[in-house]
Amino acid sequence: MSEATYVAFVPKRKSEMLRHTLSTEDTGALSWTERKTFSGSEFYFTGPPELARRAHAYVAEWVILG
């Protein structure tokens, strides 16, 4: 089974909320890691290509609209 990794930058003010959500929810076949930067965090989503792409799209929209 192939996997894909997508990266989403999340500003510091929202990183903790996303980290908490990802830590407490069952993400199934999707795994995630976080790399903290000065102004926020990079969240790496790895899993089946369609699932990883949808997670990335959702987080990107949440950052922009939220």
Report the C-alpha gap between 46 and 2 in whole angstroms.
10
What global pTM score does this model have? 0.92
pLDDT digits (tens, 9 = 90+) for 13-65: 999 999 999 999 999 999 999 999 999 999 999 999 999 999 999 999 999 99
Q: Are 29 and 48 in contact (CB under 8 A)?
A: yes
Domain boundaries, the chain: 4-65
Is a pLDDT exceeding 80 seen at residue 1? no
Predicted pLDDT at 28: 94
10: nearest Cα among 55, 50, 48, 49: 55
Mean pLDDT for 6-13 is 97
Report the C-alpha gap between 5 and 14 in whole angstroms.
21
- Given pLDDT bands bounded at 50, 70 and 90, which one contains residue 66? confident
Could you tell me the two tokens for 23?
Answer: 């830590």
